[in-house]
Structure 1
Amino acid sequence: MSALPTPDTQEPKTLLLVDGSSYLYRAYFAMPDLRAVPGDPDSPATGAIRGMINMLQKLRKDVRADYAACVFDAPGKTFRDDLYPDYKATRTPMPDDLRAQIEPIHEVVRLLGWKVLYVPGVEADDVIGTLACVATEHGVRTIISSGDKDLSQLVNDHVVVIDTMADRRRDAAGVEAEFGVPPRLMVDYQTLVGDAVDNVPGVEKVGPKTAVKLLKEYGSLDALIARAGEVKGVVGEHLRKALDWLPRGRELLTIRTNCELAEHMPGFPDLEDIVINGQDTEKLKTFYDRYGFKGLVRQLEQHEVPPETLKARAAQAAPPDLFSPADEPEPPQLPTRVTNLSYHVVLTWEQFDELLARLEVSDLVALDLEADSLDEMRAQVVGLSFSTEPGVAAYLPLAHSYPDAPAQLPRDEALARLKPWLQNPERRKLAQHIKFDRHVFANHGIEVRGHVHDTMLQSYVLEVHKPHGLASLAERHLGRAGVDYEQITGKGAHQIPFTQVPIEKAAEYSCEDADQTLDVHGVLWPRLLKDNKLRFIYGLEMQTSETLYRIERNGVLIDGPMLARQSRELGERMLQLEREAYDLAGQPFNLGSPKQIGEIFFNKLGLPVVKKTASGAPSTDEEVLEKLAEDYPLPAKVLEHRSLAKLKGTYTDKLAQMAQPSTGRVHTRYAQAVAVTGRLSSNEPNLQNIPIRTAEGRRVREAFIAPPGHLIASADYSQIELRIMAHLSEDPALLRAFTEGMDVHRATAAEVFGLAPEQVSNEQRRYAKVINFGLIYGMSAFGLARNLGIETSAAKSYIDRYFQRYPGVKQYMDETRLSAKSRGYVETVFGRRLYLPEINSPNGPRRGGAERAAINAPMQGTAADLIKLSMVKVQQTLDEQGRRTKMILQVHDELVFEVPEDEVGWARDEIPRLMAGIAQLRVPLLAEIGVGPNWDQAH
C-alpha cells in the first residue's frame, strides 16, 4: 500500500533537461577538426566531445538544478517512421567521425554527473516532453536547454526552453514574440508551415506569417479545418487540398508526453533516478588523458588541491536583529542611467590606495568576485570589482596568468590590505549571491562582514516565481543586456579559464556585473521598503544566508568505510533478490526491464492487469507493482530490488566520494532562491532526500557521524503543518486538540468515527493520520481511498465527517481559494508571498493544481519561515554564548548539530526551547531533540 506523500515530495525543485542530440551536432559543427593526437588525421576525432564538455560545464555553472538528464536520440526507427515512411528521408546522414564520437560523448556526460537517456522507438524530444510533463505533475519546474524550436510547444508557466548558444530564452512570452503564436498553438503553427528539416509537408504557400494570420483569425487548427471552406484565394485552395494530410502532419510534429521510461529510469515517474550528481574526477582524468585533453586534466588537478588551512575564526558578533521598518533610511534616488561608463583597472599600489580610500568613505559598495572554480570550498579569487555609484566601477585583477599579462598586485598582499575593510561590519556591502563570495573569501582566511544586501534574495522575496540571475534581473528591471561569459572566454576548444582572460576584457565583464548589481538594488530595495511584511521576509532571508554559510562551511563528517560496507551488503542482497525472483518466475530475466517484467507477470504467470499504458500494454509502473505485491511475492521482490538499486547508486556508492579528502567531511550546498514556498534545497550532494522509510535507507544516516568527543543532535518540529493549519483555520476543535496536548490523530479519529478517544483503535488512528495530512495536500476522495485501501464512497464519507467536525478547516480552504483567485497569490503567516500563476487558468487540471497549492502553500511556506527563524535564533545563541556546538545540516523541519559531549545537556534543554519559542501561534509549537553517535540514532 502506498504511503501518504510527505512534505518532502511536495517541495518545488528544478529539472534541467539537455537536448543531447541538438548539443552534439552543434558541438561538432562549431569545433575545428580536433584529434586525440594533434596533427594525426588517423587518430580519433575529438571536436564534438570537447564541445559537449564545454557546453555542459557552462550550463552546469549557469543553471542550478536538483534533477538533470542529457537526452539523446536512440539509433533505429521510431513510431514516426511507421506513420510516415518518408519522415526525415531528406536528412543528410550523420558524418562518420561524429558517429564515432557518440559513445565517448555518452561516457563523458555520465562522468560529468548527468543521467544519460536514449529510448528506442521515440525521439529525444518525446523523452524530454514526458519528463517535463511528469515534473510539472510533481510540482517541479523544468528548464530545457536546446536550440530546437519544436520544443517550444512544451513551454508553459512551469517549463521554459533556453538556447545558450544563441542567448535565447523561450518562455511563454518569448515563444509568442518569436513565432507570433502562444506555446499552446505551436503544434498548429508547425503543422501549417511544415518542417523541411524532418521532411514533413505543411500547407503549400503557407509560410510563418500566413500561418500566424490564420490561427489568429480562426483560433486553432481544428477551427481552421472545420471552416476551411471560408478561406479564400490560393491559400484556401491549398488548405482544402491538405485537409486529409493535416491530422497526420500534426501527429508527426506533436511531441509525446507519455513515453514509458521505467526501463531506463527504474523508479519512474519518481525523478530521484536523475538527481544531479557530482563528477567522477578520477575517471574523468583517465578519459581526458585518453583523448588528449591536457588542459582539462590540469583543471582537475588544480581543483583537487585542498584549500589552504583556514586561519582561526575571529570572534564574530551575533548577526543583527531582523530588519524592522525603520532601521535603514530609504536610499537616495539613483540618477538617470549614465551612458558613458567609467570602468577602471587597478594595477598599481597608488591606484589600489585610491580605490581603498573610496571604499572607506562610500555608504554602500557593490562587490563582484571572479573565481577560478565553482567549487565554493576550493575556489580562489581571480579578481574583484567594486562599484560605488552608477556607471563607475574598478576591477582589481589578482591572478590572470596568460602570456604577456601585465604585472598585477600580489594576491595575498592585496587581499591582506583589503581584509580590514572586508571584515568591517560598518562598511556596508552589496552583492549578487553573497554566500558564494563569502566561501571564496574564507578560502583566503577572510570572514567578510557588512554584507547588508543581496539582489538575488531581493528578487526571490519580491518575485519568487521569476528567474533571479543577474542577467535576468538586469534585463527585466534595467533593460540592460550584459557581456556574456562566453564572449570573453570563448567557446568550444578555444574556451579558456578566467585566469587566462585578458584583463581588459575581464574588467569590462566584472565591472559591469558590479555596476548592474548596484542598479538592480536601486530598483528593488525601494519596493521592499514600501511593504513591511516583505521587508521582514527579506531580512529573514539575509540572515538565513549567513546561517547557511556557517552550516556549509562546517560540513558533516562521513564514515566512508561504513558506506562501503553498506554498498557491499546492498549488492549482495540485490543478487539474492535476483535469484529469488528467478525462482519465482521460473527463469532469469532483467528486473529493471518493464518489457521483460510484463512478459513474465502477465503472459507467463497470468497476474491480473491493474492498468495499461497509453499504447495499450499492461503497465508495470511503481503503483502497479505495489498493488500486485499485496497478493503476489514476485512483484514484491522486484520492488525491493528497485529500491535497493536506487539507494546504492545514489547514496552508498557516492557519498564518500564527495567528501573533502583533507577532512572527510561532506559540504552540501543549500540553494536558497529556488523553491517557491521558501523551503531550502540541498545539492551536491542532496542530503534532504535520503530515504528513511526503510531500514536500509535509514542505515545511510548511520554514516553521518560525530568526531571523537562529540555527539550528533537532531531537533525537529512535531506535526508542524497541522499546527499551522490549526492556527490559520482557527477551528475550535483543532485548536483545543493542540492546546490541551492531545494526540491530534487520535482526537481526529474520535471526531470522525464518533468515539471517545480511548476507544479509538490503532487502525482508526492510522486512518485519521492519513486524512489529516491528506487534506493539507488537497487529497480527493479517490486519493484517500487508494491510500487507505477502501472504497471511494467510504473515503468520501470520512472526508464529509471530517469537515462536519472541523468546519473551520473547510471555511479556511474555501476562503483561501477565493482570495487566491482574486489576488493571484497567497501568504504565509509572516507575509511571504507565494504566487499561483495558474489559479485562474481555463485548463481544469492546471487550475485544480493551483487551487490545491493555494491550500498547502501557506502551510509549507510558514513551516519554511519557522525553520529559518529557528536556524537564525539558534546560531545567534551559539555565538552569543560562545558555544562550540555546530549546526551541520538543515533537512525540512529538522536541524542537525555536532555537539561536544560537555554541551549535550545544554543542547537537550536549550535548542528545543529556542525553536518552540521562536513565534507565538494560536497553538503551541513543539520541538523535540534526540542525541546519538550518528544521525540515525539521534533522529
Structure 2
Amino acid sequence: VKWLEAYGSLAGVMEHAAEVKGKVGENLQAALEQLPLSYDLVTIKTDLDLHTELSDGLESLRRTTPKWAQLVVDFKRWGFRTWLKEAESRMHEAQNTDLFGSEHIGEQAALAMETQPEKQPELAPAPEKLDYQAVTTEAQFTALLDKLAQADKIGIDTETTSLDTMNAALVGISIAFQAGEAVYIPVGHSLTAAPEQLDLQDVLGRLKPHLENPALKKIGQNLKYDQHVFANYDIALNGIAGDSMLASYIIESHLGHGLDELSERWLGLETITYESLCGKGAKQISFADVAIGQATEYAAQDADFALRLEAHLCAQMDAKQLEMYEKMELPVAQVLFEMERNGVQIDRAELARQSAELGAELMKLEQEAYAAAGQPFNLNSPKQLQEILFDKMGIPTKGLKKTAKGGISTNEAVLEQLAPDYPLPKIILQNRSLAKLKSTYTDKLPEMISPKDGRVHTTYAQAVAITGRLASNNPNLQNIPIRTAEGRRVRRAFTAPQGSVIVSADYSQIELRIMAHLSGDKTLIAAFQNGEDVHRRTAAEVFGIAPENVSSEQRRYAKTINFGLIYGMGQYGLAKSLGIDNISAKNFIDRYFARYPGVAEYMQRTKEQAAAQGFVETLFGRRLYLPDIHNKNANARAGAERAAINAPMQGTASDLIKRAMIDVSRWLSECEASPWDCLKTKLIMQVHDELVLEVPEAELDLVKEKLPQIMAGVDEGMLNVPLVAEVGVGMNWEEAH
C-alpha cells in the first residue's frame, strides 16, 4: 500500500523498484519478471464476445450436473486432496444410484482409469483405540524405560527449536510402541507450557543405551533429521530399520512424501499440523510454548503414524522395491548423515577476494551497459531494459517471447537469442550471471560457516527427484556454475585441512554408457568396450569419416547430439544448441539413428512401455511414474515421453552413485584390527555423478587405487559396458575436479 501510494500504480512501483532498499527491495526486484503476469491473472477480462467464444452462446454457461468421475481424475492430477474426497464419494454414490445413467458412468470411470493408472491406496487398518500419554514424572519415566527394555521395535520422533540440523535443540521426544500407543517426553518446554517436566540431561542419559542399541529397531519419518538432533547431544541413534518417507519414495516417487500427505493417503486420517498449534508468520510461537496436552497429541501422533505408515507401505512393495528400500535407500540415508555431519572446510578469505573481484567486475559491466545503451539505466529493471532494447535501439522483436501484457520479454532466453548480434544483451547476461554468483555463493557461503568447526554443512534431500537423484540445500552445492571461469573459481574455496587433500572421483559419461546398455546398440557398446572416445566415434559415424580425421568442431557437434538425445532433444532443440538451421539438425539426427539403430529402437520401445504401464524402471527396479503420459495436451504428453526416455538412464545413474556411496563408506569404516587402524578419509560431498573426499596425505595412494575400483564394480556385472571412474587430486575442489 505504501508503494502504491508513493508511485501510483504497479507500473510505477516496478519503475522505481531500485529505490526500495534492504531485503524487501531485493525481493521486489527479484519478482519484477513475474509481476506483469500476476497482474494479468487477477484482472477481470471484459473484452470477450460471448456469442463468438461460447459454442451455444449464453446457454453454455448454464450449470450442469458435475461429472464426478472426470473431477476425480483432475483433482488427483493437480493435488486437490480435500476436493478429491468429495468427488470420490459423489462418484461412488452416483454409481450406486445410477443417477447419471450407467453408460455415462462407465465411460467416465474408464476415463479415470485410463488417465490415472495408479490404483486406489488400500488404507492401513486403524487401531481400536488411541492411547497417547505425556511422561512428566519419575514413575512414568521408569515405566517407560522398562517397556523399552522389552521392546524390539519403536516409532520415534523429536520436537526441536529449529530445522537447522547442526544446531537444533530438543524440546521433546515421542516414542510409539504399536499402532495407537505412544508417549511424549517434554524436556525443553517453557514453564508456562509445561510446569512439570523431567530434566533433559537425566532423560537423555537414561535413554541413551536404548537409543544406541542396534537391536532395538527404530522407525520414523525422515529419521536422518532426528539422528542429527541426537548427535548434537552425543547420542548415536543406532538400529534405524525403517523410514516412512523413504518407503513412500520407493513406491510413489512422483507424489509428495510429507507425513501429512502420507497419513491422508494411506491412513485416511488428517494430522494435527504444526501451524494449527504454533501459528505462522510474525505471530508464530515456538513449539516450546505449546501446552503439554496439545504437544503430546501432536508429537505422539507423529511417532505413531510413522510407525503405522512404514509397515503398511512396506507391505505394498514387490521384491525389487523392498530390496531397493532395504539395501539402497536406508543405507544411503546413513551415508548422507555422515557426509552432512562431516561438512566441508571453506576458505573465507578466498571467498572475500572473489566477492571483491566480482563487485569490481559488476561495476565495470554496469558502465559498459550504460555505454552500449547510450544512457544510464537500472540494469535490474525489465521495463527500462525493454524500452532501451526495443524502443530506443530498435532491435527487431519478431519471434521473441512476449510478456502477459503483450510487451517483449527481457528474460534470459530472449537475451540469449539477441546476444550473438547485439552487445547490450550479452553484457546484461554477464551482469546477471556474476551478480547471482556473488549473492548466492561468494557473499552467502561465509555466512553459513559453522562457528563450531569452520565448515559448511549442507543437507541432502533424498526423496525429491523422481529419478532418485539427491538434492543439496542450505547451501546448494550441486548448482555451483561450472561453465564459466568465475563459477569454477568458487570451488577453490572448498579446501582440505593441513595435511590432507581433496579427492574427486567422477563417473565418466555414465548416462551414455547406460544408454549403450539399455539400447543394446552394437556400435555404441563396441565404442565403450574398446575404450574409444565415444564423441569422436559418433562424429566419425555421423560425418562418414575416419575417427582420426574428426575435427574439434565435429566432435563438439557429436557430443551435443549424444547428450541431447539422452534428454529427448528434437531437431529444434539441436538446431538451437548448435546454432544451425532445423533441416541440418534433422539430417544430423537421421544420420545418428541410421548409425545407431538400437538407440532409435530403445526410444520408441520405451515410449510404448511408458504409455502401456504408466511408468518406466531403472536397471535396479526403481519405478519412475509419468502421470502426463496420457495427457490430452500434446506438449505435456511429449514432455512425459522425453522423461520416459531419459528417466531410466538418469535413474540408473542415480542408483549406481548411491551404490558407490554405500560401498565406499563401508570400505572407509572397515578397520584392520582395531579402531586405531581405521582410515581417516572422509566422504564430504556428492554432486551428480561425483564423490568428493577429504583424504590425509598418508592415505592418498591407497584411496587413489581403491576408489576407482570400488566405483567401477558397483554394477556387479549387470552392465554390458565398463564403468569408469576418473580420480583427481588437489588442495581444493577446483584443482581436484
Letter of the 2:698 partner, please give it.
D
Structure 2 counterpart of 1:509: 298
Q: Give the secondary-structure state (helix, strand or coil) at the position aligned to 1:693.
A: coil
Q: Give the secondary-structure state (helix, strand or coil) at the position aligned to 1:837.
A: coil
How far apart in 2 are the matches of 1:786 and 1:413? Answer: 66
Out of 677, 697, 701, the residue aligned to residue 901 of structure 1 is 697
Is 1:562 the counterpart of 2:331 in the alignment? Answer: no
How far apart in 1 are the matches of 2:4 and 2:458? Answer: 30
Structure 2 counterpart of 1:590: 378
Deviations 1:747-766 (A, max 9, x none): 01111111111111111111
Letter of the 1:421 partner, please give it.
H
Deviations 1:818-875 (A, max 9, x none): 0000000000000000000000111100000000000000011011111111111100
How far apart in 2 are the matches of 1:842 and 1:459? Answer: 28
Deviation at 1:787, TM superposition (A): 1.1
Structure 1 counterpart of 2:132: 343
Work out whether residues 713 and 932 of structure 1, in 8 Å CA contact, stay in contact via their aligned partners in 2: yes
How far apart in 2 are the matches of 1:562 and 1:623? Answer: 32
Change (3 A) 1:112 1:489: farther
Q: Give the secondary-structure state (helix, strand or coil) at the position aligned to 2:670.
A: helix
Is 1:520 the counterpart of 2:309 in the alignment? Answer: yes
Within-5 A mapping of 1:268-279: none
Structure 1 counterpart of 2:237: 448
Letter of the 2:714 partner, please give it.
I
Work out whether residues 367 and 429 of structure 1, in 8 Å CA contact, stay in contact via their aligned partners in 2: yes
Structure 2 counterpart of 1:793: 583
Out of 624, 630, 633, the residue aligned to residue 834 of structure 1 is 624
Structure 2 counterpart of 1:889: 685
Change (3 A) 1:596 1:500: closer
Out of 646, 649, 654, the residue aligned to residue 856 of structure 1 is 646
Deviation at 1:505, TM superposition (A): 2.0
How far apart in 1 are the matches of 2:553 and 2:361? Answer: 32
Structure 2 counterpart of 1:468: 257
Deviation at 1:515, TM superposition (A): 1.4
Structure 2 counterpart of 1:916: 712
Structure 1 counterpart of 2:551: 761
Deviation at 1:504, TM superposition (A): 2.2
Change (3 A) 1:432 1:753: same
Structure 1 counterpart of 2:735: 937
Deviation at 1:583, TM superposition (A): 2.5
Deviation at 1:576, TM superposition (A): 1.1
Structure 1 counterpart of 2:219: 430
Change (3 A) 1:117 1:368: farther
Deviations 1:34-81 (A, max 9, x none): xxxxxxxxxxxxxxxxxxxxxxxxxxxxxxxxxxxxx999975579xx
Structure 1 counterpart of 2:79: 171
How far apart in 2 are the matches of 1:477 and 1:72? Answer: 47
Deviation at 1:587, TM superposition (A): 2.3
Change (3 A) 1:737 1:115: same
Structure 1 counterpart of 2:48: none
Work out whether residues 193 and 291 of structure 2, in 8 Å CA contact, stay in contact via their aligned partners in 1: no
Is 1:750 the counterpart of 2:540 in the alignment? Answer: yes
Is 1:926 the counterpart of 2:716 in the alignment? Answer: no
How far apart in 1 are the matches of 2:29 and 2:177? Answer: 41
Structure 2 counterpart of 1:402: 191
Work out whether residues 820 and 839 of structure 1, in 8 Å CA contact, stay in contact via their aligned partners in 2: yes
Is 1:412 the counterpart of 2:201 in the alignment? Answer: yes
Work out whether residues 251 and 321 of structure 2, in 8 Å CA contact, stay in contact via their aligned partners in 1: no
Structure 1 counterpart of 2:512: 722
Deviation at 1:613, TM superposition (A): 3.7
Structure 1 counterpart of 2:58: none
Structure 2 counterpart of 1:817: 607
Deviations 1:144-179 (A, max 9, x none): xxxxxxxxxxxx999999xxxxxxx97256456679
Letter of the 2:626 partner, please give it.
L
* TM-score computed with the length of structure 1 as normaliser: 0.67
Change (3 A) 1:863 1:658: same
Count residues with an aligned counterpart: 666
Deviation at 1:593, TM superposition (A): 3.0
How far apart in 2 are the matches of 1:127 and 1:684? Answer: 34
How far apart in 1 are the matches of 2:456 and 2:244? Answer: 28
Structure 1 counterpart of 2:529: 739
Deviation at 1:646, TM superposition (A): 1.3
Change (3 A) 1:160 1:698: farther
Work out whether residues 246 and 325 of structure 2, in 8 Å CA contact, stay in contact via their aligned partners in 1: no
How far apart in 2 are the matches of 1:761 and 1:108? Answer: 51
How far apart in 1 are the matches of 2:510 and 2:349? Answer: 36
How far apart in 1 are the matches of 2:351 and 2:196? Answer: 49
Deviation at 1:807, TM superposition (A): 0.6
Change (3 A) 1:790 1:398: same
Work out whether residues 458 and 477 of structure 2, in 8 Å CA contact, stay in contact via their aligned partners in 1: yes
Change (3 A) 1:624 1:398: closer
Q: Give the secondary-structure state (helix, strand or coil) at the position aligned to 2:293.
A: helix
Structure 1 counterpart of 2:54: none
Work out whether residues 172 and 188 of structure 2, in 8 Å CA contact, stay in contact via their aligned partners in 1: yes
Letter of the 1:780 partner, please give it.
G
Q: Give the secondary-structure state (helix, strand or coil) at the position aligned to 1:829.
A: coil
More helix by share: 2
Letter of the 1:567 partner, please give it.
S
How far apart in 2 are the matches of 1:173 and 1:382? Answer: 32
Deviation at 1:662, TM superposition (A): 2.6
How far apart in 2 are the matches of 1:370 and 1:113? Answer: 35
How far apart in 1 are the matches of 2:503 and 2:688? Answer: 15
Work out whether residues 609 and 619 of structure 1, in 8 Å CA contact, stay in contact via their aligned partners in 2: no
Deviations 1:635-657 (A, max 9, x none): 32222112111111111111111
What is the CA RMSD across the aligned residues, in angstroms? 3.4
Q: Give the secondary-structure state (helix, strand or coil) at the position aligned to 2:285.
A: coil
Change (3 A) 1:349 1:820: same
How far apart in 2 are the matches of 1:861 and 1:510? Answer: 35
Work out whether residues 513 and 528 of structure 2, in 8 Å CA contact, stay in contact via their aligned partners in 1: yes
Structure 2 counterpart of 1:34: none
How far apart in 2 are the matches of 1:720 and 1:549? Answer: 25
Larger mean CA deviation between 466-475 and 545-554 belongs to 466-475
How far apart in 2 are the matches of 1:73 and 1:645? Answer: 31
Deviation at 1:118, TM superposition (A): 8.5
Deviation at 1:503, TM superposition (A): 1.8
Deviation at 1:546, TM superposition (A): 0.3
Letter of the 1:394 partner, please give it.
V
Change (3 A) 1:158 1:729: farther
Structure 1 gaps of 5+ residues are 1-20, 25-70, 80-101, 129-155, 162-168, 183-211, 220-332
Structure 2 counterpart of 1:662: 452
Is 1:633 the counterpart of 2:428 in the alignment? Answer: no
Deviations 1:72-112 (A, max 9, x none): 99975579xxxxxxxxxxxxxxxxxxxxxx99x99676899
Change (3 A) 1:857 1:111: same
Deviations 1:556-576 (A, max 9, x none): 111112111111111111111
Structure 2 counterpart of 1:484: 273
Letter of the 2:733 partner, please give it.
W
How far apart in 2 are the matches of 1:378 and 1:859? Answer: 38
* TM-score computed with the length of structure 2 as normaliser: 0.84
Change (3 A) 1:739 1:74: farther
How far apart in 1 are the matches of 2:87 and 2:615? Answer: 30
Deviation at 1:551, TM superposition (A): 0.5
Deviation at 1:688, TM superposition (A): 0.6
Deviation at 1:907, TM superposition (A): 1.6
Q: Give the secondary-structure state (helix, strand or coil) at the position aligned to 1:897.
A: strand
Work out whether residues 482 and 488 of structure 2, in 8 Å CA contact, stay in contact via their aligned partners in 1: yes
Change (3 A) 1:359 1:552: same
Work out whether residues 173 and 184 of structure 2, in 8 Å CA contact, stay in contact via their aligned partners in 1: yes
Deviations 1:323-350 (A, max 9, x none): xxxxxxxxxx999523431122222333
Deviation at 1:352, TM superposition (A): 1.9
Letter of the 1:782 partner, please give it.
Y
Work out whether residues 611 and 619 of structure 1, in 8 Å CA contact, stay in contact via their aligned partners in 2: no
Q: Give the secondary-structure state (helix, strand or coil) at the position aligned to 1:588.
A: coil
